[in-house]
């Protein structure tokens, strides 16, 4: 059994001690209620940073502390854990579970790689596009886990060939591995359900400000930004840092074909899931049109998502045999902890709003007379580099309501500031511990920390520039 690290032991004790110190201190920071919310936030941040306990367990703290210290009644706190955004993501999780159960995600990935070509650079691009596409719909961890063994099969061809593992071979291996990890991170930016921070933001906007961003509206800026980022990642890896000039191999096509052959023809269950998946995506895209034709329907993205989940559980694959694509026992693999994490983030945001913290931040910023562009740039940089060290969804849960207050204080639409800063949390490319995809490819043994950091610093800085441009020019056009 591995030892419980000193940092975790320290965090476990320091978190609640700081809560007690702030709450019972004779020095009043803002007000008794606001101070308790701040104390709760400090406790949560310390446990989230040190991971003293599971980040999902930490997200349950408002459910205990807010009613206990009379911040909000239990019913009001609990409603955040059952927010529509939680069920939007639940439906997305069930859809992803079905794709993975019937191996349809692997078939889609292999088909994309096969279509992009078999030269070294085309193979790298194929892996990146396939990973990014999957990350739009399933977790970036799952998409990376699917791609890794296929990539390793191709790399092992180079390790075992006649000329050994040359510099060009090593560069190819580096580009494939980093390309998969970075594309998994960037691909999730494209959709509302692609990465948890997006959903934390959507939940905050709906809960606190009655602002709704539809699936299609998000994709109108998320998809082009994701595609641009993936293009830049590809160029930085294969043209600037790790070129594999002179590398020729034709057997990669055989591996891809062999892997596809292993899957066999499209099964009836795969067709079943593909139909449900296509219908759900189509409904998300056409929701506004459907609502304009049938205004009393009031169709929402969450309703569509839940409909998809119910369909996968309730529409039998074989009525005679009572065979369903997904059964409840399959949900043991569902990321329930992430759903609780959403609820905890929304509860913390509600506490900050109810106790007046957001209003105080807004007033302070409006009186400070700070440049809007400089403030936005600093917040983007802060979020992007902080997410290298702690969970991006936990960080978004803490900072999003604060950033909303800053936007109000600057007298700019909160979406203009919140969206680029939230997206920044998905642009962590520097360190293995920053995101699960980074950690997974690092564990392959083909990447050193300094190599990931070298590529990551460049991509982090480019991401900062892109997000500042998004804030300055794109957000005002869309919202």
User: Is residue 112 over pLDDT 80?
Assistant: yes
Question: What is the distance between the alpha carbons of residues 455 and 457, in angstroms, rounded to a whole number?
Answer: 6
Q: Is residue 475 part of a domain?
A: no
pLDDT single digits (tens) 283-311:
988 888 898 898 888 888 889 989 999 99
Same domain, residue pair 101 and 34? no
The confidence score (pLDDT) of residue 424 equals 96
Residue 168 has pLDDT above 60, yes or no: yes
The verdict on 47 and 105 lying in the same domain is no
User: Highest mean pLDDT range out of 104-118, 163-177, 341-355, 406-420?
Assistant: 406-420
Task: Determine the pLDDT at residue 160.
Answer: 64
Domain closes at, from 317, 333, 349: 333
What pLDDT shows up at residue 163? 63
The pLDDT confidence band at residue 2, using thresholds 50, 70 and 90, is low
Q: What is the mean pLDDT of residues 247-253?
A: 65
Pair 155, 304 in one domain: yes
pLDDT in tens, 425-469: 999 898 887 888 888 888 888 888 899 999 999 999 999 999 999
Whether 451 is in a domain gets the answer no
Q: Quick one: average pLDDT of 123-128?
A: 92
Q: Are residues 36 and 89 in the same domain?
A: no
Assess whether 149 and 241 both reside in one domain. yes
97 domain residue, yes or no: yes
Q: Per residue in 202-228, pLDDT tens?
A: 988 988 899 989 999 999 999 999 999
Q: Could you say which of 309, 333, 357 is where a domain stops?
A: 333
* 312 vs 388: which has the higher pLDDT: 312
- Are 97 and 158 part of one and the same domain? yes
Range of the domain at 324: 85-333
Of 71, 106, 130, the last residue of a domain is 71
**pLDDT value at 167 more than 90:** no
Check pLDDT > 80 for residue 165: no
Q: Distance (Å, rounded) from C-alpha 466 to C-alpha 225?
A: 8
pLDDT of the residue at 177: 94
Sequential DSSP letters for 353-411: HHTTHHHHHHHHHHHHT--HHHHHHHHHHHHHHHTTTS-HHHHHHHHHHHHHHHHHHHT
Look at residue 212 and tell me if it is in a domain: yes
Cα–Cα distance measured from residue 239 to residue 173, given in angstroms and rounded to the nearest whole number: 14
Residue 362 lies inside a defined structural domain of this protein: no
In a shared domain, residues 40 and 147? no
Classify residue 423: in a domain, yes or no.
no
Average pLDDT (267-275) is 91
Kindly state the percentage of the chain with pLDDT values over 70: 97
Domain tally, the chain: 2
The per-residue pLDDT for 51 is 82
Q: Has residue 161 got a pLDDT over 70?
A: no
Q: Which residue in the block uniquely carries the two structure tokens 């979406």?
A: 415
Tell me, what's the pLDDT at 246? 72
> Per-residue pLDDT for 243 more than 80?
yes
Asked whether residue 309 falls in the same domain as residue 233, the answer is yes
Beta-carbon-side half-sphere exposure of residue 79 (alpha carbons within 13 Å): 10
Q: 133 and 258: one domain? A: yes
Average pLDDT score over the chain: 88
Q: Is residue 80 part of a domain?
A: no
Confidence of residue 140 (pLDDT cuts 50, 70, 90): confident
Note whether residue 363 is domain-resident: no
**Same domain, yes or no, for 325 and 270?**
yes
Do both 91 and 66 map to the same domain? no
What's the mean pLDDT in 92-109? 86
Note whether 62 and 107 are same-domain residues: no
CA quadruple 186, 189, 194, 200: dihedral positive or negative? positive
141 three-class SS: helix
Please give, one letter per residue, the 3-state secondary structure of 294-361.
Answer: CCCCCCCHHHHHHHHHHHHHHCEEECCCCEECCCHHHHHHCCHHHHHHHHHHHHHHHHHHHCCHHHHH
Local confidence band at 88 (pLDDT 50, 70, 90 cut-offs): confident
């Amino acid at each position: 059994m591995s030892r419980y690290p000193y940092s975790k032991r320290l965090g476990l004790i320091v978190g609640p001690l700081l809560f007690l110190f702030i709450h019972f201190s004779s020095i009043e920071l803002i007000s008794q209620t606001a101070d308790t919310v701040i104390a709760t936030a400090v406790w949560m941040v310390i446990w989230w940073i040190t991971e003293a306990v599971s980040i999902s367990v930490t997200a349950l703290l408002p459910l205990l502390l807010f009613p206990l210290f009379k911040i909000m009644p239990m019913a009001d706190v609990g409603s955040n854990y059952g927010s529509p955004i939680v069920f939007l993501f639940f439906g997305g999780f069930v859809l992803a579970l079905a794709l993975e159960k019937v191996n349809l995600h692997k078939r889609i990935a292999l088909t994309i790689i096969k279509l992009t070509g078999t030269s070294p650079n085309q193979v790298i691009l194929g892996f990146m596009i396939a990973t990014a596409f999957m990350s739009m719909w399933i977790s970036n961890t799952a998409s990376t886990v699917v791609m890794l063994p296929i990539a390793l099969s191709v790399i092992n061809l180079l390790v075992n060939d006649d000329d050994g593992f040359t510099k060009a071979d090593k560069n190819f291996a580096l580009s494939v591995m980093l390309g998969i990890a970075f594309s998994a991170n960037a691909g999730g930016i494209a959709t509302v359900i692609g990465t948890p921070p997006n959903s934390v933001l959507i939940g905050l906007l709906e809960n606190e400000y009655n602002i709704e961003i539809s699936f299609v509206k998000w994709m109108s800026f998320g998809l082009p930004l994701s595609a641009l980022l993936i293009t830049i990642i590809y160029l930085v890896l294969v043209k600037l840092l790790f070129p594999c000039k002179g590398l020729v191999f034709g057997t990669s096509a055989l591996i891809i074909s062999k892997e596809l052959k292993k899957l066999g023809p499209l099964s009836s269950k795969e067709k079943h899931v593909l139909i449900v998946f296509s219908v759900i995506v189509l409904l998300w895209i056409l929701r506004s049109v459907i609502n304009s034709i049938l205004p009393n329907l009031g169709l929402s993205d969450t309703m569509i998502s839940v409909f998809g989940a119910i369909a996968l559980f309730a529409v039998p694959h074989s009525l005679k045999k009572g065979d369903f694509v997904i059964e409840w026992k399959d949900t043991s693999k569902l990321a329930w902890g992430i759903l609780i994490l959403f609820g905890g983030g929304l509860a913390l945001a509600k506490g900050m709003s109810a106790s007046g913290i957001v209003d105080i931040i807004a007033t302070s910023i409006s009186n400070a007379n700070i440049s809007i562009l400089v403030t936005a740039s600093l917040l983007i940089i802060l979020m992007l580099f902080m997410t290298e060290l702690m969970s991006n969804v936990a960080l978004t849960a803490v900072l999003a309501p604060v950033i909303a207050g800053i936007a109000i204080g600057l007298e700019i639409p909160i979406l203009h500031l919140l969206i680029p800063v939230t997206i920044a949390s998905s642009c962590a490319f520097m360190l293995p511990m920053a995101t699960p995809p980074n950690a997974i490819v690092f564990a392959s043994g083909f990447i050193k920390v300094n190599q990931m950091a070298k590529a990551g610093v460049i991509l982090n800085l480019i991401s900062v520039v892109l997000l500042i441009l998004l804030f300055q020019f794109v957000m005002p056009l869309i919202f």
